[in-house]
Amino acid sequence: MSSLAGIGGRLYRGEKSFDFIGKRRRWYAFSGILIIASLFALSVQGLKLGIEFKGGSSFRVTHSGVTVEAARAAVNSTGLVSEVIVQKIGSDKVQVQTGALSTLESNAIQDALAAKFGVKVESIDTQSVGPSWGKEITRKALYGLIAFIVVVMLYLALAFEPKMAIAAIVAVIHDVFITVGIYALVGFDVTPATVIGFLTILGYSLYDTVVVFDKVRENTRSVTSSGKMTYSQAANLAVNQTLVRSFNTSLVALLPVGSILFVGAGLLGAGTLKDLSLALFIGLATGTYSSIFIATPLLAALREREPAMQALRKRVAARGGATASSISQSTKTSNSDERSVTAVNDDRPRGPRNQPKRKRKHRR
């Protein structure tokens, strides 16, 4: 643990540095392949929608000695449904899923199951969703997703720079594609709980990006005046400086989510807890990845196109500094004189950090 903190110190000072931004094409390519694979999986296999979205009924019997065969026989004996999915959950539960049923049909199946396993009708856990209701839920979920992206984009554009908002949203959309792709590929059930978990994780992915971008903004505020680093270099330093923090926040978020997944899947089988935490788990992983490997490199690429940043790049190169692709060296150079600079030097790239008593211009 403390060695991680030690790494944190070295990352912070730039003694150790991972080149996230210089190698961005590699990450873009990696993500590109994942997204293409996701689209492929989505078009070939599609998503396995839960009964909440397409309408249908689900019955769960808890009784020792339940078997899939017996449950199937009981349902078939009613002659009401042709398509039925029967699953065993844990050691003493069996779940039957059918298409949409009327109340009478649903009652008949409950009765058949109750008779077969010798349990009371009331003890059968039932969920039934009408087909039109499923459409309503799907519509709402889509609206939610769109509204979320629009509102958050507006908010980030206000709270940060517009280009940061663009980069953050691209990263979020990236997360959406990859998570949906994983669901299509593995064939996990998509239920409203999944969608909720998923939207939450979009929020969380942004949280992570926000933390990194906050540091990027701080590091890059005075890059043009100091002329020691290009925008990309300053941004890369920011990612490295927040790396331990990103790792910690992701891990700490993952611990509770992991325990929900563990307990939910282990004790209850399929259900709200499992669906929710699985989506959170997958989303959290892609979210952390994208804020480091996609959002910040993209932001740097966007900003580097600005004339001022290109001019800065030339100046940095003229000073004999390194180019963007060999950042680690350059940060070390600028770092070598760090200890000798007093805390109130405005020109230093990490200026604001060293003037804690001053108000930041953009503080809101």
Partner 1 sequence: MSSNTSAKTTGRPGRTMAILLVSIIALFAIAFIQGATAVKLGLDLRGGTSVTLQPRIAAGESGKVTSEAIDQAVSIIRQRVNSLGVAESEVSSQGSGVNRQIVISVPGDTGRRVVELVGQTAELRFRQVLVEGAANATSLTGDTATATLPAGVTPEVAAKFATLDCSLATSRQAGGGDDANAQIVACDRAGASKFVLSNAEVVGRDVSKATAAIDQQGAAGWYVSLSFNNDGTKKFGDITTRVVSLPTPQNQVAIVLDGLVVSAPRINEAIVSGDAQITGSFSQAEAQDLANVLKYGALPLAFDRGEVQQVSPTLGADQLRAGLLAGALGLFLVVVYSMLYYRGLGLVSVGSLGIAAALVYVLFLLLGKWIGFTLTLAGIAGAIVAIGITADSFIVYFERLRDEVREGRTLRSAVESGWLRARHTIIVADLVSLIAAVLLYFFAVGGVRGFAFTLGLTTLVDLVVVFFFTKPLVTIMASRKFFNSGSAISGFSQKSLGIAPKTSTAKVGE
Count of other CB atoms within 10 angstroms of residue 363: 5
Nearer to partner 1, 313 or 328 (CB): 328
List binders of partner 1 among 147-176 (CB under 8 A): 147-148, 151-152, 155-156, 159
* Contact flags string 14-43 toward partner 1, x per CB under 8 A: ------------------------------
Task: Decide if residue 115 touches partner 1 (CB under 8 A).
Answer: no
Selected binder of partner 1 within 45, 78, 126, 333 (CB under 8 A) = 126
Q: Whose CA is closest to 336, among 10, 7, 15?
A: 15
- Residue 96: strand, helix, or coil: strand
* Contact flags string 295-324 toward partner 1, x per CB under 8 A: ------------------------------
Q: Where are the beta strands (DSSP E) in 203-331?
A: none
* Contact flags string 222-261 toward partner 1, x per CB under 8 A: -------------------xx-xx--xx-xxxxxxxxxx-
Stretch that binds partner 1, among 103-111, 227-235, 292-300, 316-324 (CB under 8 A): 103-111
* Residue 184 tokens, joined: 């299509």
At residue 36, φ and ψ (nearest 5 deg) are -60, -45
Task: Decide if residue 291 touches partner 1 (CB under 8 A).
Answer: no
- Residue 63: strand, helix, or coil: coil
Nearer to partner 1, 70 or 254 (CB): 254
- Cα distance between the two ends of the chain: 35
Q: Whose CA is closest to 5, among 203, 245, 211, 225?
A: 245
Selected binder of partner 1 within 43, 64, 83, 122 (CB under 8 A) = 122
Return d(Cα 29, Cα 161) in angstroms, integer: 26
Nearer to partner 1, 144 or 315 (CB): 144
Task: Decide if residue 105 touches partner 1 (CB under 8 A).
Answer: no
List binders of partner 1 among 132-151 (CB under 8 A): 132-133, 136-137, 140-141, 143-144, 147-148, 151
Q: Whose CA is closest to 351, among 330, 334, 364, 333?
A: 334
Stretch that binds partner 1, among 35-43, 188-196, 305-313, 329-337 (CB under 8 A): 188-196
At residue 21, φ and ψ (nearest 5 deg) are -85, -40
How many residues touch partner 1 under the rule CB under 8 A: the total is: 96
Determine the distance from the C-alpha atom of residue 258 to the mean position of all C-alpha atoms in its chain, rounded to a whole number: 14
Q: Whose CA is closest to 313, among 250, 230, 216?
A: 230
